[in-house]
Chains A and B, each alone.
Chain A
């Protein structure tokens, strides 16, 4: 079924590969930029109307999200999570590109 394709065009069309890489880079940047820009200024509002639903007293949070975020920003747990997460991320990447004994020939 696949033999009818000789795919010669792809041998010379390096730009397809470049386009894919560019898409990945743009997409990743987009994810980051989008999450920063998309919500910018949304918390600054003129005046807030009444809440639609009455929240039970037992559940009333006295702090909003901005306050909560400030409070937990420097918590030890988050610092530990950041360190471990970065270490795992780098370790994963290193292991992907670290040559394995006896597998080099089969992968290429």
Chain B
């Protein structure tokens, strides 16, 4: 059994709603300790990674970055020897996100939060908390793996909503516009305000942020492998794991070795 009480973090930008969620959780689950309340997506990541709570309640629309983006960043940077936190998303109205949650069996709560509905979530979380304690060693790795897979699934569900259409990337070079065919791209890498587009022999800089470009690319062809890296699946030669368990990719037409972050590493397994 767990000896210490579970600890939670609430990320919600509207002060009244954050307070109310904390109070309601206090009634429904008195043992739960709300460790911190934050009001934006950036502090959510910072606080989660310093406090390492067991539970995360994330609003989807927040200043800084969305709850979904925050969740991906937290999962990526979470220490490997620790079990990942359970994530519950809180949202007022996001049609696409709702369908995605249902598909991935991630829990979510709709605003206005109602006690009965939150009660069901709390029950589910309590069960999860009971079962979590014995998890050690391989079990822990297994559990984390499963949770990462769900989070990745959620992300792909959400990206899959927009029909992929982009065939050509228009990149300006001096006073010319180069038309880069997507099938010539090896990988895309976010760099500050720019996005680097790399083909076998060329490198271009475009100003469209990766998160805006990604939904326009065919998700079966372009795989995200890191928060700031997307690689064309056919350009990958092999994936290899080093002694510390970190996964990296070798490319067919380029010398670089690309690091795969934890969240996306679940995608690489032998058939």
> Is chain B found bound to chain A in the same assembly?
no
User: Measuring CB to CB, which residues of chain B are less than 8 angstroms from any residue of chain A?
Assistant: none
What is A's interface to B at a CB cutoff of 8 Å? none
